[in-house]
Chain A
Amino acid sequence: MRPRVAITGVGAVSPAGADSKAHLAGLLAGRSLAQELTEPWFNPFDRAVGVPVQCVPAVPNMPRHVAFADLAIAEALAESGLDERERAETLLLTSTAIGASVELEEAYRSGAALPPGSFGFDLITDWARTRYGVGPDGWALSISTGCTAGLDALGAGFDAIASGRASRTLVVSAEATMCPIVVAAFQKIGALSDRDVEPHRASCPFSRERDGFVLGEGAAAVVLEDRSAALARGCRPLVEMLGWASVSSGYHMTRIRTTGEDITASIRQALADAELAAGAVDALDAHGTSTRLNDASESAAYHDVFGARAGRLPVIAQKGVNGHALGASNLLEIAGLSRYLPSGLLPPAANTTAETLDLPLDLVLDEPRLAEPEVVVKTSSGFSGIHTAAVLRRAA
């Protein structure tokens, strides 16, 4: 009998604010915070749009994504109520897709020296250990799997508890994206929205007007715990995690098969890991990037797995509000899910309306929906043909 795994603490730093309550409020408001990027180094661009995180203080000698992670970690640890000894016993799983890209580009342009280690993708691990005393002597994993990185780290944290190798893990994912090389790289391949609308209307998941994503950024931290151990120390679980899976499409670095068959495989395997039938699922939290291919493929996969029910399951698409924070996006969405699920309010997708909805899904639109789904499947896809899915349940 494998241990039940619960989320007992959540932290989030997103364009909506520097904690998870602000993050939830932003989601429920359903309004995109995207804007023109006006810093001088974006001047050569015809147009650069993003959803930047504002008002997060810098951490000395640490890149911007670690500063985001810093606040998310502090919030998650505080909510889970871990004392010093319990923090030391907690094991770390961190992730980022692009690490210190902002600082590396700044250094390249200025020729300035960099602090040693700036090319590291595991700086969040170092920071959580030294600043918060999390698992200073324990094992840690640093994962970089593009845009599924946050959910992959969550899956690895789940495995650690399910296998009995840990009773508690802290999963962190962070991304800082607002620099020209990142904007240029995605613009060059046509992944970013470039239609002529106001920035806050650009990201519109599952809409027929969708033409690409809007870059976001931020961080999330999640405390995963053996549920019985959490209950024993008087902690109330927010959400339970039941299983997960990840597959490779072996197809294309940026494209997704329009049949959605690889997303289908990830969902089916995650349900098998959770020992649940598709009929047990009540809602879907989509990757929903607002690209033509992703949203259509995801819809196809939902119909493949859930059949006629796919059109009746509520679908949540968080990137309409927050944009796409690359490797951090899915853990930010798990943080959002951990807040909206207990609240009984499902957040609406920004910018998509009943008139523009392009795909046969029950996308939550316009305003928060009163609903109390028990089991939610979270899907995610990333460059390199990675598709990851997780199954979560509202805490009893």
Chain B
Amino acid sequence: MRAALTDLDVIAMAARLPATDETAQVSAGSPGRRLDLPAFGTDPRLDPDLPPHLRHRIDRFSALAYLAVSAALAAVPEPARPAPDRIGLFIANTKAGWSYGEPELGLLVREGLPAMHAYQATAWFPAAAQGEVTIALGLHGCAKTTTGRESGFAEALWLARDALERDAIDLAVVGAAESLVNGFVLRDWPADGPLPSSGPAEGAVMFALRRSTGTGSSRLRNLCHAGRDLAGPALPDPCWVPTLSIASRLFTALRHTAHVAVPLGGGYQVDVDRSHPEGEPMSTVRSEITTVGDLANVARHELVIPGPVAEVFEMTRDVGRWADYMPAVTSAEFVEQTPDGDLVQITAEANNQRHTWRSRRSIDRTAWTIDFSRVGPVAPLVRMSGRWEFSARGGTTRAVLTHRYATTTTDALCFFDDATRSNATRDLQGLAEYFSRTEDPR
């Protein structure tokens, strides 16, 4: 039974975009002309998260689509994840796969048919990504690819809403996946004119959407076409791939803005409506210390981080980056690393004193948890352990940091109460500020 929808809950999102200063060099047009594109320096087909059997048979844009879709789906809480035949996929791709197709065309022209590879038929066309991703992830719902050069991402959203309205699916993964990292596609701009100056030249941004339940914290509302001249400019500067830059803009709006209308190109727009049911400001850490024994307490700190759970988890797992955004941390490094855990050494200030300690950590990428336990605690500390827990809240993440500790004296217990309250608060706020600062998800 069909039913009209005005609201869609955003229950997860993920972006695979090059870093701000990252470039990929391509040969373009005239012999010897080389360009540095804002793209991945390392071919995304080599990413360890990509199934190895796909590497040699897909284009860069399909690899990026796979990485972003799988990250978005991984961040969907289990209760919200429907059966595979109820999950749809809607991808904007406007430039096809010339990083695969251009060399194959070269082989055909120079060496003939026998030199060409069989995967040209399945790697080049815009719908390649939806096929490879639905196959690799076992998705059976309606999947479509849109190609409007400016409005392709809005068109993908439109078709996703159509599929949800006609009850064909319960969850739609929607986004843009593009790659311009080849010389041939650069001929799409006049040789004597300026090239685009903003946005990434490849990447993928994906959103997991469902019919609104009325309880979600992030919603897209009133997807509409406001008129090709009425919706305002979708992008301020000429950008490499409008679909990708527009999807990135929506990604940023969902992280940072409570209520805003986002132009999606070609006259389309959607309203972002982000609320926090408990009403807490994003930067306020909830702090609670509970006594659990004579000289043992549990400190619990909680904050909503304006970033997708997969990225927040990864930032926290990588202690090598802690000193960049956790104010209390002076230095942190891995001492040992295994797939399931590590030994880390941390130097941090606590109550105006510098302390160094080692913790053994256990990593669970499925449950988004990191358990830690201090190695060889020195009296008056008897033990210090705890857990980082992350869960998706729309496009944001609820982070809970729990410390369990015991001491030999009351004074020492007070010392650790103050230290954990101060440092956990500052560190969580630092994590939140890191994601807030990232205006462009690149």
Contact = CB atoms under 8 A, between A and B. Distances in A.
A binds B: yes
Given A137-B227, A191-B121, A385 B131 contact: yes
Interface string B131-150: 11011011111111111110
B135 A254 contact: no
Interface string A120-156: 1110010000000000111111111110010010001
Contact of A140 (B95, B130, B139, B266): B266
Contact of B121 (A121, A137, A273, A383): A383
B135 A253 contact: yes
Interface in A68-124: 97-99, 104-105, 107-109, 113-114, 116-122
A275 B165 CA distance: 16
Interface in B149-199: 149, 151-152, 155, 158-159, 162, 165-166, 168, 184-185, 187-191
B79 to A, nearest CB: 22
B130 A139 contact: no
A180 B95 contact: no
A162 B105 CA distance: 43
B229 A137 contact: yes
A253 B122 contact: yes
B267 interface: yes
A252 B135 contact: yes
Contacts of B155: 141-143
A109 B102 CA distance: 11
A58 B30 CA distance: 28
B187 A114 contact: yes
A107 B187 CA distance: 10
Interface stretch (A19-27, A209-217, A241-249, A344-352): A241-249
A129 B278 CA distance: 49
Nearest to A186: B121
A382 B326 CA distance: 51
A217 B103 CA distance: 25
Nearest to A91: B225
A386 interface: yes
Nearest to A107: B187
B109 interface: yes
Contacts of B165: 159, 163
Contact of B127 (A107, A117, A141, A145): A145
Interface residues of B, number: 70
A39 to B, nearest CB: 15
Given A98-B125, A184-B113, A121 B135 contact: no
Query: Interface centre among A138, A143, A180, by most B CB within 10 Å?
Result: A143
Nearest to A187: B113
A248 B267 contact: no
A93 to B, nearest CB: 10
A383 B122 contact: yes
A185 interface: yes
Contacts of A180: 108
A44 interface: yes
B109 A108 contact: yes
Contacts of B130: 145, 248, 384, 386
Nearest to B131: A384
A232 B138 CA distance: 47
Contacts of B189: 116
Contact of B2 (A122, A162, A250): A162
B105 A181 contact: yes
A119 B138 CA distance: 31
Contact of B191 (A98, A113, A125, A252): A113
A189 interface: yes
Contacts of A44: 112-113
Interface string A349-380: 00000000000000000000000000000000
B319 interface: no
A252 B135 CA distance: 6
A247 B140 contact: yes
B143 A144 contact: no
B187 A247 contact: no
Contact of A113 (B85, B102, B118, B187): B187
B84 interface: yes
30 contacts: A97-B125, A114-B188, A119-B185, A121-B96, A122-B94, A136-B228, A138-B225, A141-B148, A141-B155, A141-B159, A142-B146, A142-B147, A142-B148, A145-B127, A145-B144, A149-B127, A159-B166, A163-B162, A181-B105, A184-B113, A189-B122, A245-B142, A247-B140, A248-B131, A249-B135, A250-B134, A273-B2, A382-B127, A384-B132, A384-B134
Given A116-B190, A121-B96, A247-B85, 19 more contacts: A44-B113, A45-B113, A97-B127, A113-B187, A119-B188, A137-B228, A137-B267, A140-B148, A144-B126, A144-B127, A144-B145, A146-B131, A245-B142, A246-B143, A247-B141, A248-B140, A273-B166, A384-B132, A386-B131
Interface of B: 2, 4, 84-85, 89, 93-96, 101-102, 104-106, 108-109, 112-113, 116-118, 120-122, 124-128, 130-132, 134-135, 137-149, 151-152, 155, 158-159, 162, 165-166, 168, 184-185, 187-191, 225, 227-229, 266-268
The 7 closest A-B pairs by CB, nearest first: A384-B131, A121-B147, A139-B225, A185-B121, A253-B122, A144-B126, A248-B134
